Chains A and B, each alone.
Chain A
Amino acid sequence: MFLINCPFCGEREQSEFKAGGEAHIVRPKQPTELSDDEWAEYLFMRKNIKGVQFERWNHIHGCRKWFNMVRDTSNDQIKAVYKMGEKPPVK
């Protein structure tokens, strides 16, 4: 079980958090102008990387804040956490 450093609360058990999939996928501002394929790209396509991945997490049983995490999915090492809207750290 991970220890996750919530950017708002500090270190907490993984059981307080919920994973929210890949990060930095921005909802299109004008969905109606997209083709079916372009919309499907946003809606369904995810990278699911083995290795370093940028993810969204929610401190659902804590401050309820969403934030981003950089995690190596092959060994579960958490490389960084940062708030929504902040720039992702460079590898």
Chain B
Amino acid sequence: MVEIVIVGGGWAGCTAAITARKAGAKVVLLEKSDLLLGCGLTAGITRNNGRYTAAEELKCLGAEELVEIIDSATGHMGVNFPGHSHASLYDPTMVEPMVREVLERIGVDVRMLSRAVDVVMESARMIEGVVLSDETVIEGDVFIDAAGSAGPMGNCLRYGRGCSMCILRCPSFGPRISISSRAGVEDIVGIRDDGTYGAFSGSCELNKESLSQKIRDELDRKGVVMLPIPDKDANMRQLEIKACQQYALPEFEKNIILLDTGSHAKLMKPFYPIEKLRKIPGLERAIYECPQRSDANSVRFLCRAPRDNTMKVSGLDNLFCAGEKSGFFVGCTEAIATGFIAGYNAKRLAMGETLLELPRYLAVGDLIAYENECVQSGDLKNKYSFSGGIYFQRMRDLGLYITDKEWIKEKVKQLLGAYV
């Protein structure tokens, strides 16, 4: 059986593992920390705007497991907040064990606390194995770099406001590395509007118990609470540093927007010093759960691999990429979409079959191709998400934004029919 080795157990890596395994490959999934889902552990917003379409497309394409798990952990459905319609708010902490169960059930060899530190090359274009921090070498036929783009500490320090001890916990589990660059392919680096490198994560998680009863009740009822920010604190110039351009709207500048993601209340700001936060009525006792530092957040998007639309890394014969590693993509649905194609094609490559590109009349196919076009033409500033920013605008313009499940099913059915 062919062996596919995936580095990184975030949404992208988990999806790639499930897809490759279902296609019949032997799959090893390496995760440096003691939890799966990576940045996804602090997510929780899904199906907002175009993510709805993408989630349905993915379900029909055969990536239903994870989409269904997310749906089952959803506490609020059809939530609207500024710039966003029909969001589902789910609890990522509930989802993690469920994802683990699926991986185990279908027989993915999940290795936690396994940090990749290097690669061994068979030739200039072929990876032979991945070296772990204890120096064991995990050999494979095909590899997938799904190590994300967040951190490590040095990047957070140099291009952010210091390590925020985010969910990836680099000090405990060691930093992320770029597998593709270890294999000799240079990373593409994202920039902000002012030209500095990388972008901040766009939200932080508050302990729900630390909020006033009134706010908690409102969160329970509506899933969302908006609290005006005192004038003098309103302009902290946070919007331009955020990765999530879908939240770069004036309402997010002038208000504290809290979303109920089950275990946490999600605060839609890259950071917000606790002193200032506690001046806002109802938040006098607020406490952060993640990141552990209220004036910083992790820095991301410094290491996009050059790739084609099959998700294969350019310049190498047996490495694929997925998730934030594969594009300036923000979001779990986006990671699932790219992980799906990467896992699928990894198996096809190993079997000597031609690789698949998703057609552009599906949102998932168009996102992957459009981001590539933009980056190749030199745009390193934009981020791409089904849920907002330039890409959601494009979905609307091209008629790719559909919320009718039956219609989406029909579209995918036609596509699958064409392949049979």
Q: Do A and B come from one complex?
A: no
